[in-house]
Chains A and B, each alone.
Chain A
Amino acid sequence: MLRGFTNTLNSSQLQAGETQLRVENIQLNFGGVAALMDINLAVRQSEILAIIGPNGAGKTSLLNCISGLYRPQRGRILFYNDKEHEVTRLKPHQIARLGIARSFQNIELFRHMSVLDNLLAGAHIHMRSNLFSSLIYWGTAQREHIRFRRFVEDIIDLLEIESIRNNTVGSLSYGLQKRVEMGRALAMQPSILLLDEPMAGMNSEEKEDMARFILDINEEHGVTIVLIEHDMGVVMDISDRIVVLNFGQKIGEGTPDEVRNNPLVVKAYLGEEKSPFKFGQSNNNNHGKE
């Protein structure tokens, strides 16, 4: 399908393959519980990196450290655009301004706003009109509003949510809310997009749509994607690399093939009744499981 994008969704200035995000020796404790132990990993520009692991492995905690919601006791997280930024020193809104966007495992939309307003709220960091201009809605405020109103229309197109743009998000189905939440993160024109279980609780058709959107965003716009997902079919299918966490430790990393054949990873999943990797490499008829 042809889409006339008037705006890029990607604000990164790096070349594909350059290191964009580096997690160094992160240690995160909750009281006596270690949620993350000495985690190291790097995310490269324009790749899809999946983070997998059993429940409670520390996947969400890792994203929360990156977006500044949790503060690790040790280690640091570095983000590169024009220069190196130490994310671990910054507040969530400052991290967002660097172009790090995310969605949440449990949908955290602005419930009483329309879909449109949620998307516009996602573009908050790009809005510059001053308070006075806003109060009289004249000059920069009005121009800016019209420009971003057009911009979010691109996202509405991309995510195929034309028919619900004026609905209040609280009234939408779970699957659509997940989609809108990803749209809100995209409206930030992110350099890197962190998605926490974007397909959880969806039926196979919705999952396929979502996988297609993620691939679109990655391939057409070059947005780097860090994806937490439990559905191994999807993960093996769409990710370039995979990081495996278990009880707060990184137990494996590599291409889908390498991870599938990593004995430590297979062992970590042995508790489950079936091996999650039993299907063939290009076989994705597993989408419908759950």
Chain B
Amino acid sequence: MISGIFHSSYEKDMALRRTHAQKIRLVILFLFLLAFPFIFRENRYYLTLANQVGIAIIGAIGLNILVGYTGQISLGQGGFMAVGAYTAGILTARLGMPWWASTIAACFATALVGVLFGIPSLRLKGLYLAIATLSAQVIILWIVTNWGAVTGGVEALVVPNPTLFGVRLNSDFNFYWVTWLLVLLVTIATVNLFRTHYGRAFIAIRDQDIAASVMGVDLFKYKLLAFAISSFLVGLAGALTAHYRSIVTWERFTVDVSVLYLAMIIIGGLGSVTGSFLGATFMTLLPALLTNLGRAARGTFPAIDSLLPFIQQGTFGLVIILFLIFEPEGLNKIWRNIKDYFRLWPFSY
């Protein structure tokens, strides 16, 4: 018994030290995010990237709840984002709804559509479910491009600028606060979700669905709930792009987007909020970095110009493949290793 007590207090001690370090890291991250827009106030490019990263994080957390935590694979991300973006855009552009109201409506509308396309998940698993959700992607885009009277069809839908107390919100600087405040809220809500029986039921379904049902988890209800919560957040990401860019076009929501987001959470780390952050950041910044490197190289090697797109695409693909081979658990695992290294640092030999 004594050894038991010793052990548990030792573990508590470890947990405490872990949370201390964690708190310090979170504070540093928070301060950095607060300072960022002021430091780069004059650099619109960086602010744009930061906003794109924030929106991608919300979308990636949404997808990760469904795929990483609940184990229901989805190739419908692009379609669900389109539902969010078009709902928000249409309600504001055609009905004159304020941006925040159309954003909330878009979240609920996307949740509903997500639930609808989640129904096959009760019968289908793995690749079959992937195909079913891919059909969601195809059907949604087909409706968007063919229902021109409402969506604008293949033409762009122009959305009025969002304002708050007379201030235009979608300047890069102002929208930064909208985006990252929402990132904060979504993160807290997701972390909380997985502290309670809802989140545990999701993970239980992923790990062992038969045992979950025998423990009293209603598979149908909780799978659909996972689709609803996931799509709610994905719809939020879609609505944010609509209000940020003031323009909605179907090309931004193709199946490429579905694949890109899957890559984000796989590279970041399935079933992890930190992983969603890392993956979304990495996959948004990498193409930008490659573009910049390409521009720089063009000065030195003019011949590279025509090859540049191929090199960029190739590098992008290569990075993903290397990740899958060498660190299937993603950036989150690498991040954990770094943390462990520093925690043990003076004694790490």
| Chain B 1-37: CB-based contact to A (< 8 A → 1; otherwise 0) | 0011001100100010000000000000000000000
What would 9 more interface pairs be, CB under 8 Å, given A93-B217, A185-B215? Answer: A97-B216, A108-B208, A113-B207, A121-B197, A124-B200, A124-B201, A137-B195, A166-B15, A184-B215
Q: Which of A32-40, A127-135, A237-245 contacts the other chain?
A: A127-135
**In the complex, chain B residues whose CB is within 8 Å of the CB of A111:** 207-208
Q: Is B323 an interface residue (CB 8 A)?
A: no
Q: Is A122 an interface residue (CB 8 A)?
A: yes
**In the complex, chain A residues whose CB is within 8 Å of the CB of B201:** 121, 124
Closest chain A CB from B16 CB (angstroms): 13
**In the complex, chain B residues whose CB is within 8 Å of the CB of A127:** 196-197
Rounded to whole angstroms, the CA-CA distance of A145 and B7 in the bound complex is 23
User: Which one of A69, A163, A188 lies within 8 Å of B4 (CB-CB)?
Assistant: A163
Rounded to whole angstroms, the CA-CA distance of A157 and B64 in the bound complex is 35
Rounded to whole angstroms, the CA-CA distance of A92 and B221 in the bound complex is 13
Q: Is A50 an interface residue (CB 8 A)?
A: no
Q: Is B115 an interface residue (CB 8 A)?
A: no
User: Which one of A101, A108, A117 lies within 8 Å of B200 (CB-CB)?
Assistant: A117
Rounded to whole angstroms, the CA-CA distance of A254 and B217 in the bound complex is 36
Q: Is B224 an interface residue (CB 8 A)?
A: no
Binding site for A on B (CB under 8 A): 3-4, 7-8, 11, 15, 189, 192-193, 195-201, 203-204, 206-208, 210-219, 225, 271
Rounded to whole angstroms, the CA-CA distance of A68 and B214 in the bound complex is 8
B204-A121 in contact (CB<8A): yes
**In the complex, chain A residues whose CB is within 8 Å of the CB of B7:** 162-163
Closest chain B CB from A102 CB (angstroms): 6
Q: Is A87 an interface residue (CB 8 A)?
A: no
Closest chain B CB from A126 CB (angstroms): 9
Contacts known (A69-B214, A108-B210); A145 close to B203, Cβ less than 8 A: no
Rounded to whole angstroms, the CA-CA distance of A112 and B206 in the bound complex is 10
Between-chain CB contacts (< 8 Å), 10 pairs: A97-B216, A101-B214, A104-B211, A109-B211, A112-B203, A113-B200, A121-B204, A123-B197, A163-B3, A165-B8
A108-B211 in contact (CB<8A): yes
- Chain B residue, CB-CB nearest to A113: B203
B214-A134 in contact (CB<8A): no
Chain B interface SS verdict (over half)? helix
A134-B213 in contact (CB<8A): no
User: Which one of B3, B4, B206, B215 lies within 8 Å of A124 (CB-CB)?
Assistant: B215
**In the complex, chain B residues whose CB is within 8 Å of the CB of A96:** 213-216
**In the complex, chain B residues whose CB is within 8 Å of the CB of A166:** 11, 15
Rounded to whole angstroms, the CA-CA distance of A92 and B205 in the bound complex is 14
Give the A interface residue count (CB, 8 A): 42
**In the complex, chain B residues whose CB is within 8 Å of the CB of A42:** none
B213-A92 in contact (CB<8A): yes
A67-B214 in contact (CB<8A): yes
User: Which one of B15, B192, B200 lies within 8 Å of A137 (CB-CB)?
Assistant: B192
**In the complex, chain A residues whose CB is within 8 Å of the CB of B225:** 131
Rounded to whole angstroms, the CA-CA distance of A237 and B216 in the bound complex is 32
User: Which one of B195, B216, B271 lies within 8 Å of A145 (CB-CB)?
Assistant: B195
**In the complex, chain A residues whose CB is within 8 Å of the CB of B11:** 166
Rounded to whole angstroms, the CA-CA distance of A97 and B216 in the bound complex is 6
**In the complex, chain A residues whose CB is within 8 Å of the CB of B271:** 112
B216-A112 in contact (CB<8A): no
A112-B215 in contact (CB<8A): no
User: Which one of B189, B206, B207, B219 lies within 8 Å of A136 (CB-CB)?
Assistant: B189
User: Which one of A95, A124, A135 lies within 8 Å of B197 (CB-CB)?
Assistant: A124
**In the complex, chain B residues whose CB is within 8 Å of the CB of A123:** 197
Q: Is A125 an interface residue (CB 8 A)?
A: yes
A112-B192 in contact (CB<8A): no
| Chain A 113-156: CB-based contact to B (< 8 A → 1; otherwise 0) | 10001001111110101010011110001001100000000000
**In the complex, chain A residues whose CB is within 8 Å of the CB of B189:** 135-136
Rounded to whole angstroms, the CA-CA distance of A141 and B197 in the bound complex is 9
Closest chain B CB from A186 CB (angstroms): 11
Rounded to whole angstroms, the CA-CA distance of A162 and B8 in the bound complex is 7
